[in-house]
Each structure stands twice: as structure tokens, then as C-alpha cells.
Chains A and B, each alone.
Chain A
């Protein structure tokens, strides 16, 4: 996709943003609005609560304070926050769902699931989660793309490139997390051979990237094999002070088993130093 195409407003494309009454909501609203402008999409603000005029007015005031175009649509709907947000996003076939997240999840949230986790699991589209630690609209000058060995990620890469180019950025950190098999294999090689093993893995990550068109980008890559999946990419993001992490969304089902055995994309949410975008392939493909 060329930069010109990005600039063309695409009325079909909608960004849904969940807003409440908090200082943080202003940032969420502003981010959603900025991303919508960059991507040429319209933005739809959703508030979970009763649709009464006073609430509506307060929300409008909040949006104005966030410097958001007041012509944007605003929907109020009561219900479970995760259900409402994912429901609206599904209805309008959203390209992106923006909402807040906890900076650190406690034990209870891990077992019972935080709202952010429910949204991450249920949404049919990519989800951008902004924890309280984020104080400015991500400029996308330090984006980390977390991938796993042997996993197809062309859709996620295309989406990332679209975001980067729309923000006029060229720098991208691509990191590959080692899965259990890889870590197990690395354990059975001699300590002295471990460096070669790591070099080879890095080299192969480059092989994988060679298959995609990355012209004009400034790519940095790394293979992370000291921590487990999900945690490794977050630790890397913290180290380089990234402003956005992009990685695959967890599977959509949320059964009791999923609560016990967290998917790597769930562990990502344990502690967030920056915004995270959980990518899910084409929203129509996810429907059953």
C-alpha cells in the first residue's frame, strides 16, 4: 500500500473507542481520533451506561477537552462493558477497537479475567489497549512487532506497515519469541554452542522477513529466548521504551481451561509498559 492510498478517507472503515469518565478516557479518545485521521477512518465513541442526556453532555464535554472533533458519533449502551464494546465493533465491522487496560493485572484478574482480557479474547478485530502508564498518543516511533517461530504473520505485518506509514514512521523492531520446543532444544545444546544456536535463529528470522516487502523501513530484529512467550516481548518493549507492541491476539474462546492455561497473548497483559495492539486477522474471517 502506498502512502497516497492511506491518506484517502475510507468511509467503510471505522475505529471504535470505548470511553468512560476518567482522565485516561481523554487519552483513549484522542488516540482513537488520531489513528482514525491517519488511517482515513471514521471514529465511533462508545460509552457503557444508560443513554441519558446528562451523561451524553458530559461525554461531549470530555471529548471536546480531548480535542476530538465533536461531530464524531457517540453511542451509549448499557450492559457488560466487554460485551457492549465487542458487540458494537462487530456491528460496524470495525477495523480497530481502542480501549483502556490495567497496567498490572493482579492474581484475581488473571483467574477471573479483566475487562481488557475479555475484550482481547472476544473482539473480531484488532484491539488497541492503552494502560494507565501511557500519557500521550503513541507516535509509533518505537513499535515492537512480536512474532513466534513458524507462525504466519503476513496480515499482522501488513497492518503494522499501514500504521507505520500512516504515521510517517520507518522504524520497526521485530522480535521473535522462543516457544517451549525451541527453549527445550536450546537446553540440550552445550552452553558453548548456545551462541551459535542463537545466531542461527537470528539469521533465520531475517530469512522470514526477507519474504516480505519491507522497503523504506528501518528494521531491527532480535530473538528472545530467556523468558517465556508473551512476557519476553513485553520485557523487550520495556527495555527499549517502546510506545506500541503489536502481537497476535489470543484465541477467541474463553473457557475455564483458558483461564487456567493462559495463552501467550494473555500473559502479555500481565504488565504493560506501553500500549499494545492485539492483532486478529481479517474481521470477517473470525466469524463462525
Chain B
């Protein structure tokens, strides 16, 4: 790159990242996936918008010189590779494999059905899918089948949390299924790309399969043991966490080089290295977090934005194809997951909800699509359709699930409040009296004996005090026989001593009763209240509420502003 190319290169990268992140954050504000904003940044700066409106500026910013293009491509390739490594690290292989046979059987169903839909459609409608691509129809059909069977793990995890199914064994099986589907999906995809090497010429499928399987087995056995042996001394004798971070990235890149060299795609190397690395007992959560943030907020946005630069979405828009892809993707995945969830024992309604959750594709499938496009496997029209499908399925997952689960939104704090259980001026002056007073306000709603509930709350209080500081106390207990969580709120003028860490008395008291076995729900409620009252100002605002309606409105609005989805 010469001087002017280098200038353009840095300018383009800086601008892309800036706009991508800004729009990404904006999207999150509106409860939409940040990928949407990041893609949009590329579309705005790329040929579709800026190129059409101000061709001069566009050509100046993104010169079509070989040096510049190579530079951008190198950065995005690196971005993809690292992004997949992070996705791999997310997988705790041991935890997944410990789930046993059931999850494998279900994964199979969850994959075979969407695969069949993708494969079948491409075979039946060659003129629509194959289009101008010179590649074998069969290969495109296999690709489409594979692409449609991949899911987005973060989306699933979030949905299970929201549905309060996360802590259950069923929740774990669903997570395991999603992970297994992903691993198998990427393996299949690596085989497809491997056979595509040498500009569309098919090399031996069996050779690629053997290499893929061989590499995977090797890295998940020998590689995994080596990583496990290296991590503890690395953490002990090098700068922490820097040492581990450089080890992770270099390991991922070396694995990429190895896989590319033996003729399977580099992404499989980083992904599988990530899986082996993430499985290590010695990997700390903090290390994973730093890697994740570094890559998800720098490389991933650059990559997603660069898509809009490379492909003119307006030019290659094909409404029929977009709709068909969306339809087969949704029907296949929802049906597959529905069958799978029914097999584990979810109810019809829950299964359908999980189906729509699994339908969310997130950013992964876009990466898959771009790699296929670069390899000449699919044409731009199909790629655009895949991007749209990924976005729409992700956007639709949340609302669709809420609608299925009985047209009610995921319960928040406000749903557990009760006007009779709001005591704007408590009479009590001591902790025990305060608890008794709040329990008395809730007791009629529980149908349980007041003494019994008080005793449970007091038992809990004796183990560890529930004064959290900032003049707030959250006494709570898990109660047998309760069917839904209940919250009572009391204000105390003079303050009540709850033995808080900051030594201040509590003026705002939340009594939280949850059903005995709903561990995850209780965790959510307690964390939610903690978040709600994070600052002194928030506590003060809450104490200003004079009526139950005012208090409910306040909690409702604070919850909304904080609850932005990823």
C-alpha cells in the first residue's frame, strides 16, 4: 500500500467502526440486535446509499485500488476468524457432553428437518437458488440445508432465561442441542467449502471429510489436553490476563493456518480451537470476557459493516428469493425444534416458543453466507436473501415467543406487586416487626399461614442480613406451596436497622416471596431489584412515590429503560 492507500485504509476502517458501533448501539436502544445497526452502517457508507448519492465521496473514501481492497479483506478475514473463535469458546464441551444421549437424538431431529427443507427447496427450485452461480446444484443444496440448521446460542440462552426455563434440565438440554447443532453445522460447512477449493473445482469430498474429522478429533483430544496443561503455568507465570489472551489468539490463528493448509477452511480451525480452549477447566471467566469484548466490539462490527461495502444490497434484492428463503428457514427450523422439544417433554406451547427461539439466526449465518459468497458457492442475490432472513428471524423471535406464550409479556417486577402490599408509612421500628408487618400485608394473597411465612423469612435473615445498603433492605424467602412470586414494598420514615454493610438504616423495604423450586425466577427478581435501586437517586425517587399507582409506574419505566435486549 502506498501513502494515499494507507491513508484511505485507516480512514475507512476508523469511519466504518465508528458508524457501525453508533448504529449498533442505537439498534440496541430500540431492543433490536446490534448486528442490524452494524450492517446498516455498511449499507449507508457503501455503494447502495453513499455510492448512489455521492459517487465522488464514496470513491475517495473507498478507492477500488488493489492495495486498499486487499487490506480491507485481510482485516475482515481476521475478524471472521476471531469471531468464530469466541463463538467456540462460548461452548463448554464437557457440560454439553455430560447431557448424554437425549440431546444428541434431539439435535439430530432439530437439524435434519431444517436441513431437509433447505436441501429440498434448492433441489426443487434450481432456477431460483442456483441462478448465475456456476457451481453444482447439489453443493448449493447442501449448503442451504446446513445454513438453515445453524442457530444463535446467545439468543436461545436469553429466551430460556426470559421463559424461566433456564435452570431446568430441559433448559440445559435445549442449550446442549443448540450447541451440538452449531458444531455439526460448522463441520458440514467446512466440508462444503473444502470441496470448493481451487475456484469452484470440486476436490475429493472424502479427503475433505477425513481431514475435517481428523482435525476435529485431534484438537478435541490432544489439543484439549495440551491447552489444559498449558493454561495453569501460563496464568501463574505470565502477565495476567495478557499472557492468556495472546496465547488464545495465537493458538486460534495457528489452528486457522493448519486447517487452511490441509485444505479445509481456516474458520474451522479457529472455531474448533475455541471449543477446545473454552472447554478447559482452567479458563477463567474474566479472560473469556475480555476476549469476547475485544472481538465482538471491534472486529465483528467491522466485519458486519464491510458486508454492505462489498455487496450492493439494493442491486441484488430479489423479493421472491428473500420471501422463499425466509419461509423455508422459518418453517424448517420451527418444525424441527418443535419436534425436538416435544420429545424432551415440553408442552405444545413451550415447544412452539422454543421453535421460534431456535429460529433466530443472529450473525453466524451471515458469516457463513459471506464465506460461501467469497468461495463462489452462492451468488449475491442468495446472499442478500440470507442476510435478510438472519435479521428478520432474530427480530421476530422475541415477539413471536411472547405471542405464543399467551399474548402476555415476560413477567417483570410490576407483575408481582399488589396494591394491598404497599405500605407507604410503616409502623414498625425494628427489623422483626417490619418483616411481620410486610408479611401480614402479603399473607392473604398467599393463602398460607402468616406465622409460617414470617418464620421462613426470619430464618433467612439470621443466616445473612438482607440490608444491601443505600437505605434498602430486601428480606426474602422461598416458600412451599406458593404458585407465583409476591412482592410487598414498605417505606419507613425513620429507617429500620437491617444490618446493612454501609451501616445505614433501611427506608425502602422489599419483601420478596418466591415459590420453593423457582430458583432462576428468584435470582432474576433479586438481581432486578438490585439493578432498580443501583443509585441513591433511584432510591430517593422511589421513596417520593405517594400512591401505589405512582410506584408501579416508576418501577415499570425504570425496568423498561434498563431491560434493553441484546
Contacts and interface: CB of A to CB of B under 8 A. Distances in A.
A, B from the same assembly: yes
Interface of A: 106-107, 110-111, 149-150, 179-181, 183-189, 191-193, 195-197, 199-204, 206-207, 209-211, 214, 219, 221, 225-228, 230-231, 257, 260-263, 267, 270-271
Interface residues of B, number: 55
A231 B476 CA distance: 31
Query: Binding site of B, secondary structure by majority: helix, strand, loop or mixed?
Result: helix
A203 B94 contact: no
Contact of B462 (A106, A149, A210, A231): A210
A174 to B, nearest CB: 10
Contacts of B97: 257, 260-261
A201 B464 CA distance: 13
B280 to A, nearest CB: 8
Interface of B: 90, 92-98, 154, 157-158, 161, 166-167, 171-172, 175, 221, 225, 228-229, 232, 280-286, 288-289, 292, 456, 459-460, 462-464, 466, 468, 474, 476-478, 519, 522-524, 526-528, 530-531, 534, 566
Contacts of A206: 460, 463-464
Nearest to B524: A200
A199 B463 CA distance: 15
A184 B166 CA distance: 10
Contacts, number: 127
A188 to B, nearest CB: 6
- Residue among A184, A263, A267 facing the most chain B CB atoms (10 A cut-off): A184
B175 A181 contact: yes
Given A111-B225, A204-B519, A210 B459 contact: yes
A203 B464 contact: yes
Nearest to B100: A257
A151 to B, nearest CB: 11
B531 to A, nearest CB: 5
A263 B527 CA distance: 30
Contacts of A184: 90, 92, 157, 175
A196 B463 contact: no
Contacts of B229: 106-107
Given A188-B566, A226-B286, A260-B221, A181 B526 contact: no
B95 A179 contact: yes
Contacts of B524: 200
A204 B526 contact: yes
B284 A185 contact: no
Given A196-B531, A225-B285, A150 B166 contact: no
A129 to B, nearest CB: 18
Given A206-B463, A207-B477, A196 B530 contact: yes
A192 B566 CA distance: 14
Given A184-B90, A196-B534, 12 more contacts: A180-B172, A181-B175, A183-B92, A187-B292, A192-B534, A197-B523, A199-B526, A219-B463, A227-B282, A230-B281, A267-B281, A270-B281
Contacts of B154: 188
Nearest to B96: A180
6 contacts: A180-B172, A204-B519, A214-B463, A228-B282, A257-B97, A260-B97
Given A206-B460, A231-B281, A261 B94 contact: yes
Contacts of B288: 187
Nearest to B566: A188
A142 B167 CA distance: 32
A103 B528 CA distance: 43
A193 B527 contact: yes
A227 B526 CA distance: 23
Ranked nearest first, the 5 interchain pairs of A and B with the lowest CB-CB distance are A196-B530, A180-B95, A200-B526, A206-B464, A200-B527
